[in-house]
Chain A
């Protein structure tokens, strides 16, 4: 069997606003557009990977929050209605998705072997979290690739960003190892925002873009600093500054997705492609791709 490989790694944020603004048939509410910069960013990301072949998507979502270990969706198929508990007015999405259980189990087993507490989620009534659904839709609206969905362990809240990052770097290492052993070509997605301070009010028309901006200058500076590291191939600096970034920008990297992604990509020193940046009710969001396929020598 050929060695499996990661063809791309992306930051693929999950604000339900982006799905809402697009009016796909699966989502009940209707919008007059909005957040185009980010939606066009997603379009560019999809176009960028249109000719890259892959078998599965591995995704870590900060809205499947587990306090006891790291969990993996463990059944072949999930469908149902995902209603965002925070923005139910924007996101009521009928989902229908397939899971690459084999690959999920392989990552689970590697993680267990490395001493991480892990569990397969095999309850058929489980509602897949809206972060997974949103990122899943925006990255691949056809839903024609199976996913591996990894929960977000809340170790930042329990301990510290440092402890979280230790765990996530290890989880990233075993994710990579399991993917390579699987013989599959895989895209890995960290579903998270950058700076994450919300407005606590919503305008009459949620998609009124005249009301949309970053919550503060400091948040903007942090976002641009992190994006600059991405664009200049300095992933290690992102990991180094993760505690300050997460704390000061109240960043959604607290869920571990970004640390896990960078570790899974073996801390890339080549530039990432920024496909788009924009704010969503004040939070900073970037669509970013590390085009691994163009940088990593195939050993196939």
Chain B
């Protein structure tokens, strides 16, 4: 199986005019022709998956992914019902939907699949799939736009999607169903009188399209907040689709962009844009926000807090990734200290290990990964302290790996470990899993061992080991 990839991305407008009334206005016709051209491009690329991120499908409980293999119904727009009805019957890749849902949870996102007869697929998705995939030849997936989601959540949503594209070796097309400026005329107009609502909206739209034409998708992502303030009716908390699409393309600024059409739909800015992953030679990133890999919660919603956590909100440290956790320190240098870049950075002023005579004492070692600080098996809680599902075995394996790196840096070997003290934050839940991994690893070496239950560790991890090694003279 080939490596999966995003073979093309498209920005497409959401209103039903391009499906139901393309000939009532020359601009709507040009948008429709652009849609038809995009559909042909998708066929020519032999894409095997179309992924739609729709701004007209809001969700509250995390992100929702359509997983009905064949959703069928009749869509009538809430505003433009007099244009007619769109009968739809789509070909949804339910297997991909479920895999994406799982991948979301692995990356800390709240997510669920929806598979209900009669589910009202939103206008943006209906328009996009009707026109981009007219004969349903290519399976599709649709994801909602969470009302409260902001940048990191939306970015991670794309990364988990990429996880699955890669794992399944898919040739995917990423589509954002969205308006640019989304202010419509608030009164009824004749089709021929349609134009962009205001000059300011038009100027911003053209600026966005100029960036996209140059393949500078990451830059548009960086401008999302500004765009939201300038030309978006404040219906939701952020202008998210460009974050998603940028992350789907590896947050690059050197894509090959082509604006296929830009027209007004009842005053809103509608554009069909094709972004080809081929490098255009344009500039690289000039300014980057953190490239988030894992979602730790940032919506500021007062989610249900486990009562047992409440008393220790200030002691339990937030997660470690990307500057949001405890400060990371360079390992301390002192006589006999042993430090290595192959182990995670300390969270205080101490070395990874210290040698005294033929004894080597390790500082407490957790599962954090050197470099990324990611926690294999996932962190045990989010930033607000809400517990998360995590894998104790994966964490324990990672601890043992980190121990090995430090021990070997000191010129010692694992079989010279003589004593280990293990700290678990949840003895009841985790002892068995930890014990299994122990048996497969350090248990074979044979050090003495003490396992303690403790209240918390400084980072959101479940296990840490304190190790003593006896080295040959």
Contacts and interface: CB of A to CB of B under 8 A. Distances in A.
Partners in one complex: yes
Interface of A: 64-69, 71, 80-81, 83, 85-89, 92, 117, 119, 121-123, 125-127, 129, 151, 153-155, 157-158, 197-203, 211, 215-216, 281-282
Interface in B430-449: none
Given A67-B184, A85-B59, A154-B233, 12 more contacts: A67-B79, A71-B81, A81-B118, A87-B61, A119-B82, A122-B82, A123-B82, A125-B85, A158-B233, A200-B303, A216-B302, A281-B60
Contacts, number: 114
B114 A117 contact: no
25 contacts: A66-B79, A68-B79, A68-B184, A68-B185, A80-B118, A81-B118, A83-B118, A88-B114, A92-B118, A117-B187, A121-B81, A123-B84, A125-B85, A127-B120, A151-B78, A153-B186, A154-B235, A158-B186, A199-B304, A200-B62, A200-B299, A200-B301, A201-B303, A201-B386, A216-B302
Contacts of A154: 233, 235
A249 to B, nearest CB: 14
Nearest to B235: A157
Interface string B90-125: 000000000000000000001000101111101000
A21 to B, nearest CB: 17
B55 to A, nearest CB: 13
A117 B186 contact: yes
B266 interface: yes
B186 A201 contact: no
Q: Secondary structure of the A side of the interface?
A: loop
Contacts of A216: 302
Contacts of A92: 116-118
A104 to B, nearest CB: 15
Nearest to A214: B302
Nearest to A158: B233
A157 B147 CA distance: 14
Nearest to A67: B184
Interface residues of B, number: 41
Contact of B183 (A80, A119, A158, A203): A158
Contacts of B59: 85-86
Interface string B172-187: 0000000000011111
Contact of A203 (B84, B184, B187, B304): B304
Contacts of B116: 83, 88-89, 92
Interface in B117-175: 117-120, 122, 146, 148
B214 to A, nearest CB: 32
Enumerate the 7 nearest inter-chain pairs by beta-carbon distance, A residue then B residue, closest first: A125-B85, A81-B118, A123-B81, A125-B74, A117-B187, A126-B76, A88-B116
B120 A85 contact: yes
A224 B236 CA distance: 26
B188 interface: yes
A88 B303 contact: no
Given A66-B79, A68-B186, A158-B183, A200 B118 contact: no
Which has the most chain B C-beta neighbours within 10 Å: A127, A197, A216, A281?
A127
A83 B120 contact: yes
B81 A200 contact: no
A66 B188 CA distance: 12
A197 B266 contact: no
Contact of B301 (A85, A119, A157, A198): A198
A200 B60 contact: yes
Interface in B182-202: 183-188
